[in-house]
Structure 1
Amino acid sequence: MVQPYIPQYRVPFFQRLAGDLHDHGVLLTVAHGRPTGSQARRGDIGALPGAVPLPQHAFRLGGRTMLWRRLGDLAHHCDAVVLEQALHNLEAYPLLASARLRGGPAVCLWGHGRTYGDRPTAAERALKDALTRRADWFFAYTDAGARHVVRGGLPAERVTVVRNSVDTASIAAALARITPGQVLAFRARYGLTAGRTALFLGGLDAPKRIPFLIAAAELTARRLPGFRLLVAGDGAHRGLVEQAAARPGSPVIRLGPVTDAEGKALLGAAGDVLLMPGAVGLAAVDSLALSTPMITTPCAAHGPEFDYLQHDRNALIVPGGEAEFADEVVSLLADPGRLSALRRAAREDARHYSGEVMSARFTGGLLRLIGTGN
């Protein structure tokens, strides 16, 4: 399995997948490059024992960063190689073009299915669909991604939906260990008021709409005394958060990156809602696992995991600008019954998205692929 790099949140998944495959006599090797661009600025590189670092070369072509990772003999001594579905990963092209011709390993792609966030050109969409059709198997993050590649010509029997997730079991276990005393101490440390605390968990970069987040928090605080927004994350827009937090009377509190299960659990126990006006990705899983309903917008460059959210069931999806967003935050925090209903639904829906579910689905797809001799 070839990855751009190994973020901390993926380490438990790779360890679980290696164990599940080993139970069926299959050895998993994870190879990886180095993070670039916004990935590098997030500072979330994880350590995976046994992972193989790959020589990586990056260069610009037509305004896009292209990456070439040299696999060496790795791809010649395996039954299957799993690559990220991305046009900028050049190692995929020769493998997809020649695997069937020279009897090489089965080539699988793992990804969104369609392009999220950016707006690809017609030529880019056509090229991505053509490459995907050449794959022996496709591992889709979500049902919507699977439907897209099937519409693009890949047979449905060669597609597995993995339900992309984080290690929710660790979050659940950490939540169970949180004591009332810990929550009280945390609230006292940051001057938090129960029922008036919001969270942000994620990268501090342009797709997350950090200026919108700050403006909405300030509007909320004007109407709801004691309201605070805890910002956990890092990235290129960290300075905006630092400036907001430094203003006298600001409701914004910058915590820095929080990636471990214990840290997320304490935030979930002390917070009431999770604010994400920008791009929603795996933060949707965090929201469900923490039973902390998300308030988001429909117009951001969301990732595939946005599909896990249902308006007025486990989340609120609010159209409009900062004022409308703040209105919904105030309205929800002023309605404990509605907030409790959203929490219950989030807790129920979290069962469908976990590292265990994701690994089992991935394992099933790989075993079917290897077993059919593709």
Structure 2
Amino acid sequence: MTKNHEINRASTNEQVVAIIQRRLTHYRVPLFERLRDSLAEQNIRLRLVHGEPTEAERSKRDEGQLDWAEKIRNTYVRIGKTTLCWQHLPEDLDQVDLVILTQENSILSNLPWLLRKRQNGPRIAFWGHGANFQSASPRGIKESFKRWTTNRVDWWFAYTDLSTSQIAESGFPASRTTTLNNAIDTVALAKDLESTTTEDIEKLRQDLGLKEGRTGIFIGSLYPQKRLDFLITAAIEIRDRLTDFSLIIVGDGPERQRVAQMASLHPWIHVIGALHGREKAKYLRCSDVILNPGLVGLGILDSFSAGVPLITTEYPFHSPEIAYLRHRTNGIRTQNCPTSYASETVHLLTDPETLRDLRNNLKFCAARYSLYAMNENFASGIYKSLKNS
């Protein structure tokens, strides 16, 4: 823990905001870089304080680095299936104007901030989902505790409209909630998509035996919540109706070997593994629909960037980013069974006009749900929070 000392402010009018992260992931780095610059224009200094990942998280190799961030020590304790965390925060956080915490029940070091009397201390804000959307017991003790903490802060930075609604249901005022529209940097993907040539696409189609207008792609991590059994069952039904249909599965994870075994019985299913950069862009450009019947999260941004409609289901455990999908406007959300999923996919693949309309709408989504827009929302919310202090 750092020694308690007076914060050096660039001027008497400068305000200081601290964002606390349990760990820093690489995909958040561009956001914090932009946010720091945007706040500086308003004479607001950003401090980013982050801890270390768990040993299991280290294996993902997704840590981010920022020279100006403050790295602290985390203490993790495993109790049954739950991992609790205490973050050893700098003592001088008492002197900043706003502290933004992540709403996670497992971060015990949040509790002193939520329980203290804050008349002379910093304002406190939460950044998060507003609920665990994958919880099997939404009315259980864990979610009840989370709803209690929801109302212990001065401001909220909600991931999406779905999060904002959840926070409002817990009794927190909408006037003190900022909807961020959570996003990642898709500029690199957009450039890779633009640089993919017609020759690249034709060669890939020829190599894999793909037919234009008849190709679906799954792109993401391969783990149980993605419902890959469901995907392959539905794909077989699609193939029964469209005999030239092909499915590409791009990604890696604990389910890869099992998926590869299932796909080996069907030569029109291609399990590729994880792809990045121009290779990922090339496969997206070859595809007509993105098929993901399971958990949808930030991967929906691939659909927006590539202009390839996403088809998912009424799965009850989507992440908050499912709020970006507007049924039959920028994607499709079917009943929660493989036959309905297959029928909707066949209908879309055989209806070029509807497919074209969806593609056109996706162009607007790419601009709305971008890192640039998220940064603007975040900076504006921080400014309003400080102004209302």
Same fold (TM over 0.5): yes
Runs (4+) of structure 1 exceeding 6 A deviation are none
Displacement of 1:357 in angstroms is: 0.8
Aligned to 1:227: 245
CA separation of 1:176 and 1:307: change in aligned 2, threshold 3 A: same
CA separation of 1:104 and 1:189: change in aligned 2, threshold 3 A: farther
Aligned to 2:226: 208
Work out whether 1:82 is the aligned partner of 2:100. yes
String of CA shifts for 1:96-154, please: whole Å, max 9, x gaps: 222616x3332211111233111334432332122121112110112232233233232
Q: Which runs of 5+ in 2 are unaligned?
A: 1-18
Displacement of 1:271 in angstroms is: 1.0
Aligned to 2:160: 142
Work out whether 1:301 is the aligned partner of 2:326. no
Displacement of 1:37 in angstroms is: 8.7
Percent identity over the alignment? 34
Q: Give yes or no for contact 1:38–1:235 (8 Å, CA) kept in 2.
A: no
The counterpart of 2:37, out of the listed 19, 36, 46, is 19
Work out whether 1:120 is the aligned partner of 2:138. yes
The CA distance in 2 between the partners of 1:312 and 1:15, in whole Å, is 36
Aligned to 1:55: 73
String of CA shifts for 1:309-337, please: whole Å, max 9, x gaps: 12222111111422332222222222222
Work out whether 1:111 is the aligned partner of 2:112. no
Q: Give yes or no for contact 1:8–1:46 (8 Å, CA) kept in 2.
A: yes
Larger of the two Rg values belongs to structure: 2
CA separation of 1:339 and 1:53: change in aligned 2, threshold 3 A: same
The CA distance in 2 between the partners of 1:346 and 1:198, in whole Å, is 17
Letter in 2 for 1:163: N
Aligned pairs (5 A) from 1:266-277: 266-277=282-293
Q: Give yes or no for contact 1:293–1:346 (8 Å, CA) kept in 2.
A: yes
Displacement of 1:356 in angstroms is: 0.9
CA separation of 1:234 and 1:143: change in aligned 2, threshold 3 A: same
Q: Aligned with 2:243: secondary structure?
A: coil
Q: How many residue pairs align between the two structures?
A: 370
Q: Aligned with 1:91: secondary structure?
A: helix
The CA distance in 2 between the partners of 1:17 and 1:98, in whole Å, is 28
Letter in 2 for 1:229: L
The CA distance in 2 between the partners of 1:54 and 1:37, in whole Å, is 16
CA separation of 1:265 and 1:151: change in aligned 2, threshold 3 A: same
Which deviates further from its counterpart, 315-324 or 67-76?
A: 67-76
Work out whether 1:358 is the aligned partner of 2:382. no
TM-score (norm 2): 0.86
Aligned pairs (5 A) from 1:310-329: 310-329=326-345
Which deviates further from its counterpart, 75-84 or 109-118?
A: 75-84
String of CA shifts for 1:157-195, please: whole Å, max 9, x gaps: 221111112223443333333221222233344443222
Q: Aligned with 1:281: secondary structure?
A: coil
Q: Give yes or no for contact 1:172–1:290 (8 Å, CA) kept in 2.
A: yes
Letter in 2 for 1:240: R
Aligned to 2:195: 177
The counterpart of 1:68, out of the listed 76, 86, 104, is 86
Aligned to 2:296: 280
Work out whether 1:10 is the aligned partner of 2:28. yes
Comparing both chains, which one has the higher relative contact order based on Cα–Cα distances under 8 Å and sequence gaps of 6 or more? 1
Aligned pairs (5 A) from 1:29-40: 29-36=47-54
Displacement of 1:38 in angstroms is: 7.9
The CA distance in 1 between the partners of 2:384 and 2:214, in whole Å, is 50
Letter in 2 for 1:131: T
CA separation of 1:43 and 1:238: change in aligned 2, threshold 3 A: farther
Letter in 2 for 1:80: L
Q: Aligned with 1:17: secondary structure?
A: helix
String of CA shifts for 1:269-301, please: whole Å, max 9, x gaps: 111111110011112222122211111110241
Q: Give yes or no for contact 1:198–1:230 (8 Å, CA) kept in 2.
A: yes
Q: Give yes or no for contact 1:291–1:347 (8 Å, CA) kept in 2.
A: yes
Aligned to 2:355: 339
Q: Aligned with 1:28: secondary structure?
A: strand
The CA distance in 2 between the partners of 1:152 and 1:125, in whole Å, is 11
Which deviates further from its counterpart, 360-369 or 54-63?
A: 54-63
Work out whether 1:129 is the aligned partner of 2:128. no
CA separation of 1:95 and 1:189: change in aligned 2, threshold 3 A: farther
Which deviates further from its counterpart, 28-37 or 189-198?
A: 28-37
Letter in 1 for 2:307: S
Q: Which runs of 5+ in 1 are unaligned?
A: none
The CA distance in 1 between the partners of 2:243 and 2:39, in whole Å, is 53
Displacement of 1:360 in angstroms is: 0.5
Q: Give yes or no for contact 1:273–1:293 (8 Å, CA) kept in 2.
A: yes
Letter in 2 for 1:272: D
String of CA shifts for 1:6-31, please: whole Å, max 9, x gaps: 33332222222122122223232333
TM-score (norm 1): 0.89
RMSD, aligned CA? 2.5
CA separation of 1:99 and 1:197: change in aligned 2, threshold 3 A: farther
Aligned to 1:218: 236
The CA distance in 2 between the partners of 1:226 and 1:2, in whole Å, is 51
Aligned to 2:385: 369
